[in-house]
Structure 1
Amino acid sequence: MKSVPAVLKASTKEIQRLNTNKISPDIRFHYRLIAGALAMKAAALLPDNSEELADIVNQAGMWVKDRDEKVANRYYQVIDHRCAKTKIGQTVRAKHWFVDQQGPWSTAEQQAHEAMRKELKMDSSE
């Protein structure tokens, strides 16, 4: 007997649940834009020309640059105006775009991530 694929129609309640829990914004890799926006909220609390500020804004820019160039340009302007005296800020300004460079914040985050993986006995290749 040959199996025939069945197509099931979504119920009204299922459609309502889908509409209630829509992803916003409805674009691929939306979480990068959300992470960038949250990083910029944190950056607003940091003092001008601090290495942490430059690092956070640069990382946020790296997350969004391939998804939304207008947003990335706004992040670049923050580096240009608020981080010009930092190492990362100077490198970003010289390149006129974000750089793959770690600062104190991203280094601390990476160390915390590695410590968590070690604590949970997760293989680094996972």
Structure 2
Amino acid sequence: MTREPDEWVDEEAGPVVRPYAVTRGRTKPSSPAELDLLATVMATGQPPPAKADLSARHRRLVDCVTGQTRPVAEIAAELDLPVGVARVLLGDLLDYGLVSVRPPLSKATTPTESLLREVIDGLRAL
């Protein structure tokens, strides 16, 4: 197993990397896109630009969303990253055009409980 340069080993915990080391001290994504917990992310399929400085975690994030759309919270959980770290890394990927982000649906566009009950009742009546 190869380790990134900012990784060290704790006797009890194993490989450990502090969140600020993963994000190079950044706490907010550089991209203005809203990376809400329920925002969905998908890989664009574009190759990384020559100037892209991608870490192994960046590549794992791209792999995690290649071929499927996933919410930010799910990506962070699957890769065992704090949500803040996942947002910063996803912001980097957005800047490089490697992922696209779709904001979560607003409450105005989601069906109401009464509408869903009417649909269920209509289906039962069939």
Give the TM bin, normalised by the shorter chain.
under 0.3
Report the structure, 1 or 2, having the larger helix content: 1
Provide TM-score, normalisation by structure 1: 0.25
Q: Which has the larger radius of gyration?
A: 1
Higher strand content, 1 or 2: 2
Higher RCO by CA contacts (8 Å cutoff, separation 6 or greater): 2
TM-score, normalised by the number of residues in structure 2: 0.25
